[in-house]
Structure 1
Amino acid sequence: MPDVHLVADGLTFGYPGRPVLDGVGVSASAGDRVGVVGENGAGKTTLLRLLAGDLAPTAGEVRRSGSVSVVQQELDVAPGSTIGDLVRRTATHVRAAAARLDEVVAGFDHEGGDLAALSDAIAAVDRLAAWDVDRRVDEALTRFGAPRDHARRLDTLSVGEAYRARLACHVAERADVLLLDEPTNHLDVGGIEYLTAQLQEWPGVVVIVTHDRRLLDDVMTAILDLDPSMDGRPVLYGATRYATYRFQKDQALRRWRARYAQERKRAAKLAQRLDESYEGLSDEWRPPKGSQKHRRGTRARIHVKAADRLVQKLEAEAVEVPVPPPALAFPDLPSIPAGYAGGPLLELRAPRVEGRLDLPGVRVELPPAGRLLVTGANGAGKSTLLAALAGRTPLDRGHRSVAPGVRLGVLVQDDDSPARLRTTGFEAAARRALDLLSSGALDPAHVLPVAALGLLEEEDLDRPLGELSVGQRRRFELAAALVAAPHVLLLDEPTNHLSIALVDELTEALRLTSAAVVVATHDRAMRADLADWPSFEL
């Protein structure tokens, strides 16, 4: 194929009062597939927008060769636009290559024509397979579980349906440079497997922001970690396995921390020496009569200057360690409420929600410290089942019961109402706690401070939720689910939008907590980690 590449050199970008990226560099050519990882708020989505040309860097540059296609997490829907509009846009782009070939062939001079231009036009049509675009779009829509009705308006679709429709069209488009932001968030296992197969055979450049550990293993040729390293720069790992990347990163962090600890210890000793030198200078400033005070004072001053120079040298060579990302401080949750009389904490019998869920004869019950892994394809009713367990969705048939005093912690997939996005994290958490306190469902002694969970910095909790990244908002929603020290956790796709490191920490915490836990997930790595849990497939 013709030269296809994507190069970012020294990219720096920030919002007013908030730097995001500093000196990021990455280079990829045809056949390279780069996974971008890092803590929530590290700038992963911002980097993707810079690479796509949607944002202009404040320093550095991006060089692109070939067509570029980007699928963002969030979609701005034009009023009245439909799935058919997405499909036609895809077909128009692809067929433009066929039209270009017709134009070149029609004007080609067989004696002195530009053979290179003709070869490039033929290669473009062959690569894009313009004659097959309609079939590819229809296949991708089907395999991703997206609506196929071209008349469906995008503003009537769920967030997941709209994302899958866009993803299908962009995959069918076969751009030279494909940029994807968390593409597996809204896919079931079948959709993820189809996407994996497409990416493994992608002839151009692929850059993917992802928390999906299996996708990193199956697809990537390199991993770009945007978290700070010892020199303050992101690191491009050549590791193609997640376990290898984690090992290399953990080793680098150990060396970093060891050097920092050594330097702080040396700095403390030198500071002590400097204090002693100043004390000596003060003591000898008025020596006893006949004690050669000038010589003794001079030696003291020389000693102080030497210590000063050593301290300055140490500070000049010291490693400036950025504040590390907050570690998850998962609380010690209770297993039973006060006065528990036995039986299941939560029970659901024969639930039916018109058009979304129908489980005649099925009984779902959760004992203290119980576990349940819910799986199934998109549209099978996983989210509806969890909403019914949480009491957020009324039942058309069936019965739900909750043991007296049981508190629930609920994490849903999307809760981005405009009013909520205008509130700060502290305000939203306080409102949740006050509602529970006023209803008598929560003892003040059991309220967990949202800032103590290690999920967000206090300065982020002071900002409106709408100003946070998607991943930071997801961290807050997880924190809000824990504020009331729940006896039962109901988590719908808990890995969505979270950083890989936090997914690892959360998985371990869910295995160890005393609370009862229900998890609905398509994340293949998490499902493997929780394979010993009782499961329910819809």
Structure 2
Amino acid sequence: MLVRADGVTKSFGPKELLKNISMQIDDNDRIGLVGPNGCGKTTFLKMITGDDVPDSGELVIKTNKIVYLSQFPSFDNDTTVEDALNVDSDEVQNKRMLELENIMASGELPRGADWNDISMEYARLQEEALRQNKSDAERALDHLKTFGIEDRVSGKMNELSGGERAKVMIAKVLSRAEKADLIILDEPTNHLDIDAVEWLEGYIADFKGAVLIVSHDRYFLDRTVTQILEIDGSKMKHYLGNYSQFVDKKALEIERQEKEFQRNSKERDRQAKIAEEQHRMQWFSSTHKTRMKMLERMEVTEAPDKKKDLTLDIDSADKSGKNVVMARKMRVMRGKKILFEDIEFDINRGDKIGLFGPNGSGKSSLVKALMGDIPFRGDLWIAPGAKIGYFEQGHDHLNPEMTSYEQIDDYLEGEARSRARSCLYRLQMTKKDAERPIKTLSGGERARLSLAMLLSMNLNFLVLDEPTNHLDIMARHAVETALAEYKGTFLVVSHDRYLLDSVCSKVAELKDGTFTMFNGSYSQFKGVRKGRDVVEEAEVYKVVSSFTEWNSRKKFSKGDRIVVAPSEKANYQWAIDNGKLKRIPGKERKIITK
């Protein structure tokens, strides 16, 4: 056992953020922590790392070998990449060195101690710290080489893109991971390109310790975790399985609660009517009182929590012509660097295109060139009937001094204003938040405002640059559903593989100056079978006697070892029932394509 919480409660002012939470993290666990924005996920992580404390309850931490990737790492504007990569020595080691420094500074020798021993211990700890820091720095640099940004080490952090800063912080955290029992990652895929995310998935799969991940990236969770902890309404629930299995179990749980609530309500109504009838027919008797006491003693089943309806509708303007965009020999530069040249593509009416590629490949620059915001060379034709809406990643079009409601009234007219306000509600922005200045809003809240305004306009061609960044899972699902049902045309730039698989009829990769268009989903483009890879906690079996698994037509011999995931156990059940397979101790993680 590494971490155990028992009855942990945490409040901020009158708001009870976490209530009576219990959970446990064991060696080698793979846990995903999910829940809506603001539910207390980051607060819970900070309590595990010792940066915060619970108001009540018991939180037991059995290891000091924990590394933590914060969602919002802080550093000064003048911090160099090299300084940001410097890794502190072990906390216990630092604490002992500080104690020895205080002893030497005070000149007071503790009873039974010797000055020579103290100086020798201090010198040894200094040498170990120097050796450890050098080793960690070398590992961090190796990770930067993997990400392809080792040439940025001499630069400053504020000169890097969001994706490059994320890679630096991940490199720093993972450089300490070899000595860690537990890695905690808070939104590790934010700003990362797909190649970096897939590399991180492989790293986590090979890591020998435990991992606790907060993420809104469902594709990433499916490939990395085997348990889900959900925080909802200040309570925490535990589910075995990856994220997709959690969704299925959650849906069944809500359905069961709804049926139980209806059954309980119906029975209570029946008992109340019997008591009322008894009182009316036998007003002189106290029989009905007995029935009322029975009703009072009946257990009251709570209705399942009713979430806001996050269904979004996008109005589409009249259809444009068959050809919406035609690009020929396009070339875009950033300073003196050519991002891409001689690329050609067509976007036709009804196309739903997902654009992806490494950070810095020029995806956002291509979009800005389409919108006329930056210069380019080549030919670009956009249909005169195209009514374009642009979702900008940085939300620079928002006035930071206005409130959300003021921005809507300033930006939109007529019915679009009321549609935008309704959309804000459906994206879970409260009236209180909508009346705050935009400069005080989080990145996710600004994204909600931008989306609400865009989706309320009468458009037939949407250009979206990372529309799901900073959104929680429910809001992402709402946006995906709306885009899937949208009657117009869109081009969406995204690193969200779930989005690229679920709503796009075509995908395009921009990499190393080359633009490649593909009819199909991201997974199909990558050569993956239709469906998604998920990780499952599998059981291990030994073959007692030879048999053939007829679904795969694979033959197994006596003594073979088989790892069987829950989703494929039915294929082996007859062999288990007939004694051809024997369960042996231990579990392993297995990637399954669904």
By the TM > 0.5 criterion, same fold?
yes
Q: Match for residue 502 of structure 2?
A: 529
Q: Match for residue 430 of structure 1?
A: 409
Q: Match for residue 83 of structure 2?
A: 85
Report which of the two has the higher share of strand: 2
Counterpart code for 1:412: E
Distance 2:485 2:422 in 1: 22
Q: Match for residue 145 of structure 2?
A: 142
Equivalent residues in 2 for 1:466-485, closer than 5 Å: 470-485=443-458
Structure 1: give runs of 5+ residues left out of the alignment. Answer: 104-120, 282-295, 438-442
Counterpart code for 1:336: D
Q: Match for residue 328 of structure 1?
A: 310
Q: Match for residue 486 of structure 2?
A: 513
With over 3 angstroms needed to count, the CA separation of the structure-2 counterparts of 1:348 and 1:370, relative to structure 1, is same
1:403-424 Cα shifts (integer Å, max 9, x gaps): 456443433334489963x654
Residue 233 (structure 1) aligned to one of 223, 232, 235: 235
Q: Does 1:22 align with 2:19?
A: yes
Residue pair 1:147, 1:165 contacting (<8 A) in 2 also: no
Would you say how many aligned residue pairs link Structure 1 and Structure 2?
Answer: 476
Equivalent residues in 2 for 1:312-323, closer than 5 Å: 312-314=296-298, 317-319=300-302, 321-323=304-306
Instruction: State TM-score, norm by structure 1.
Output: 0.76
**C-alpha RMSD of the superposition:** 3.8
Report which of the two has the higher share of helix: 1
With over 3 angstroms needed to count, the CA separation of the structure-2 counterparts of 1:132 and 1:366, relative to structure 1, is same
Distance 2:141 2:409 in 1: 47
Counterpart code for 1:200: A
Residue pair 1:199, 1:219 contacting (<8 A) in 2 also: yes
Deviation at 1:276, TM superposition (A): 6.9
With over 3 angstroms needed to count, the CA separation of the structure-2 counterparts of 1:416 and 1:218, relative to structure 1, is same
Distance 1:445 1:503 in 2: 22
Deviation at 1:504, TM superposition (A): 4.3
Distance 1:153 1:50 in 2: 31
Counterpart code for 2:235: R
Distance 1:82 1:417 in 2: 31
Structure 2: give runs of 5+ residues left out of the alignment. Answer: 101-123, 512-594
Identity score, percent? 25
Q: Does 1:397 align with 2:398?
A: no
Q: Match for residue 521 of structure 2?
A: none
With over 3 angstroms needed to count, the CA separation of the structure-2 counterparts of 1:458 and 1:525, relative to structure 1, is closer
Distance 1:270 1:469 in 2: 51
Q: Find the residue that maps to 2:72 and give its secondary structure.
A: coil
Deviation at 1:225, TM superposition (A): 1.5
Counterpart code for 1:411: F
Instruction: State TM-score, norm by structure 2.
Output: 0.69
Q: Match for residue 496 of structure 1?
A: 469
Residue pair 2:185, 2:213 contacting (<8 A) in 1 also: yes
Q: Find the residue that maps to 2:216 and give its secondary structure.
A: coil
Deviation at 1:162, TM superposition (A): 1.8
With over 3 angstroms needed to count, the CA separation of the structure-2 counterparts of 1:444 and 1:254, relative to structure 1, is closer
Counterpart code for 1:5: L
Residue pair 1:136, 1:172 contacting (<8 A) in 2 also: yes
Counterpart code for 1:162: R
Equivalent residues in 2 for 1:34-433, closer than 5 Å: 34-64=31-61, 65-88=63-86, 90=87, 92-93=89-90, 132-146=135-149, 148-174=151-177, 175-227=180-232, 233-239=235-241, 241-267=242-268, 280=280, 297-299=283-285, 303=288, 305=289, 308-309=292-293, 312-314=296-298, 317-319=300-302, 321-324=304-307, 326-336=308-318, 342-346=321-325, 350-355=330-335, 358-391=339-372, 393-398=373-378, 402-404=382-384, 406-415=386-395, 420=400, 423-433=402-412
Counterpart code for 1:58: D
Q: Find the residue that maps to 1:237 and give its secondary structure.
A: strand
Deviation at 1:468, TM superposition (A): 5.8
Distance 1:275 1:367 in 2: 68
With over 3 angstroms needed to count, the CA separation of the structure-2 counterparts of 1:425 and 1:274, relative to structure 1, is farther
1:350-392 Cα shifts (integer Å, max 9, x gaps): 252434764444344433322212121111011222233344x
Q: Which has the higher contact order (CA 8 A, sep 6+)?
A: 1
Counterpart code for 1:210: S
Residue pair 1:425, 1:460 contacting (<8 A) in 2 also: no
